[in-house]
C-alpha cells in the first residue's frame, strides 16, 4: 500500500508541465537541454535537488510544489468547493489557479524577451 503513495517527481513535473500547456521542447530550451533529456527526466522517480530546482524555476513553481503535487487532491479540492453552489464561499489555495497565473506571467516575460531580441537583431542589422 505504501508504494501507491510514493512520490514520482518526474511524473509530477510532466503533469504540471501539461497543465501549464508547456511542450517538452519549450521546457528543454528553458533548461538548456534536449527534448529527449526532458523526456528522460519525466521518467525519473526522484530528481536530484539542483535539477529539480532548475525545473521548478523554469515552470514557475517551487520544488516543493513538484514534490508535493497531488493531482487527486487538487481535483478533490475543486469538486468539494464547486459541486454545491448553496454552500458558503470557501477560500482555499488552488494550486492549479496559481500554476495558470505563473504560466501567464512566464508567457508575458517570454513575449517581452522575444520583442527585445528582435529589436536587438534589427539594431545589429542596421549597424552592419
pLDDT score of 73: 54
| Domain total of the chain | 1
Domain that holds residue 99: 2-127
pLDDT score of 84: 46
Question: Nine-digit cell at 58?
Answer: 523554469
Q: Say how far residue 10 (Cα) sits from the centre of its chain.
A: 12
Q: What is the CATH number of the domain that holds 13?
A: 1.10.260.40
pLDDT score of 4: 53
pLDDT means per 10 residues, the chain with 128 residues, are 68 88 90 94 94 92 85 52 44 66 88 91 88
Separation of alpha carbons 62 and 70, rounded Å: 14
Separation of alpha carbons 119 and 113, rounded Å: 10
The tally of CA atoms less than 13 A away on the side-chain side of residue 29 is 5
Hey, what long-range contacts does 57-60 have (CB within 8 A, 24 or more apart)?
Answer: 58/27, 58/30, 58/31, 59/13, 59/16, 59/17, 59/20, 59/22, 59/27, 59/99, 59/102, 60/20, 60/99, 60/102, 60/103, 60/105, 60/106
**What H or E segment, with its residue span, contains residue 35?**
helix 35-43
Separation of alpha carbons 74 and 110, rounded Å: 28
pLDDT score of 2: 43
Amino acid at each position: 500500500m505504501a508504494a501507491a503513495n510514493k512520490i514520482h517527481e518526474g511524473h509530477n513535473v510532466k503533469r504540471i508541465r501539461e497543465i501549464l500547456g508547456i511542450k517538452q521542447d519549450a521546457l528543454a530550451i528553458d533548461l538548456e537541454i534536449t527534448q529527449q533529456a526532458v523526456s528522460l527526466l519525466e521518467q525519473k522517480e526522484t530528481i536530484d535537488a539542483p535539477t529539480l530546482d532548475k525545473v521548478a524555476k523554469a515552470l514557475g513553481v517551487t520544488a516543493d510544489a513538484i514534490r508535493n503535487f497531488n493531482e487527486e487532491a487538487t481535483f478533490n479540492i475543486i469538486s468539494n468547493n464547486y459541486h454545491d453552489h448553496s454552500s458558503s464561499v470557501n477560500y482555499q489555495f488552488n494550486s492549479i489557479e496559481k500554476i495558470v497565473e505563473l504560466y501567464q506571467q512566464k508567457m508575458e516575460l517570454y513575449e517581452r524577451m522575444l520583442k527585445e531580441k528582435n529589436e536587438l537583431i534589427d539594431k545589429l542589422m542596421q549597424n552592419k
